[in-house]
A = this chain, B = another copy of it.
Amino acid sequence: MQLGLIGLGKMGGNMRDRLRAAGHEVVGFDPRPEVTDVDSLASLAAALSAPRVVWVMVPSGDPTRGVVQALSEVLAPGDLVIDGGNSRYTDDAPNAALLDAKGIGYLDCGVSGGIWGKDNGYGLMAGGDAAHVELAMPIFDALRPEGPREEGFAHAGPVGAGHFSKMVHNGIEYGLMQAYAEGFELLSATDLVTDVPAVLQAWSRGTVVRSWLLDLLVLALKDDAKLAKLDDYVDDSGEGRWTIEEAITHAVPLPVISAALFARFASRQDSSPAMRAVAALRQQFGGHAVRAAGPAGAPGEHAGPSSGTGSTQS
């Protein structure tokens, strides 16, 4: 079938390739002339037969909202817009209402798979009306991995349910990554385990912890057995934050996912004001030695607690 596809970055570009390989006709739009198929959204609309299906794959927030607004002006009643980006689910109802006022349908679709999706397929979670899901099903089928449909696609619920599900997916992802990372650090902290990459690789099959993320960590360690080439600075792209905020709204305890998010925040601090405050307190009550700010001296090995001196007791 025909699909309009807006946003031809790493994700959108790969999806265009995968869809075309599956025999679909994709008309892509991107502001970058070297990748776009058409020169405007109007041209994109003109290039598609009604009812048009247009997939939006641009950064979440204002960019996506802007594209939806623009599409509401070039599409026609009966057409369908799918937001496949990482939008916050709360953007979906307003987007749907805006389009609905023009008779245009709306689906939100969480997409997982990263740069590997082009070859492996993408896991998909859609929110919206069943009729709209049915209309777009050939596209979903081409994007999702080989195998039973239900193992790579779900109609999660009404508008918003797709992005909500994707948000939770990413929250879980934070927790999983941190769990492997903590294990990696502990394995690396002992002299007893002499081949940490081999241990992780031996978990690839048969074990309880086998997973795709584990496979990726094994891959990363092939190149760099101690990950010494990397900085310990970890960004976040919003879904983990939204997951915690949603948990707060619903009074759901998320100790692990929140710990994973906070570890990322901490990883980006050059100096933690909180830990300076703890250092200040220890200095105040116990005369404990503290370090002045400045270029750190080499702290050397320091796994054990500081040997109490009897003089700095709390």
Partner of A207, one of B113, B235, B261, B312: B113
Instruction: Report yes or no: B176 in contact with A209, Cβ–Cβ below 8 A.
Output: yes
Instruction: Report yes or no: A237 in contact with B308, Cβ–Cβ below 8 A.
Output: yes
Q: A192-B161, A206-B152, A255-B262 are in contact. Are A185 and B216 (CB under 8 A)?
A: no
A204: interface (CB < 8 Å): yes
A21: interface (CB < 8 Å): no
Instruction: Report yes or no: A251 in contact with B232, Cβ–Cβ below 8 A.
Output: no
Q: Which chain B residues border A304 with CB–CB below 8 Å?
A: 251
Q: How far is the CB of A241 from chain B (nearest CB, A)?
A: 5
A-B contact pairs, 13 of them (CB 8 A): A154-B195, A164-B190, A168-B183, A175-B256, A177-B278, A181-B281, A185-B274, A220-B283, A220-B284, A233-B296, A234-B279, A251-B303, A270-B299
Q: How far is the CA of A111 from the CA of B304 in the complex (A)?
A: 22
Q: Which residue of the partner chain B has the closest CB to A285?
A: B114
A43: interface (CB < 8 Å): no
Q: Which residue of the partner chain B has the closest CB to A314?
A: B208
Cβ proximity bits A137-168 to B, threshold 8 Å, 1 near / 0 not: 00000001111001111111110110011001
Instruction: For chain A, give the interface size range.
Output: 35 or more
A268: interface (CB < 8 Å): yes
Partner of A205, one of B121, B156, B265, B281: B121
Instruction: Report yes or no: A231 in contact with B293, Cβ–Cβ below 8 A.
Output: yes
A273: interface (CB < 8 Å): yes
Q: A205-B145, A278-B178 are in contact. Are A114 and B233 (CB under 8 A)?
A: no
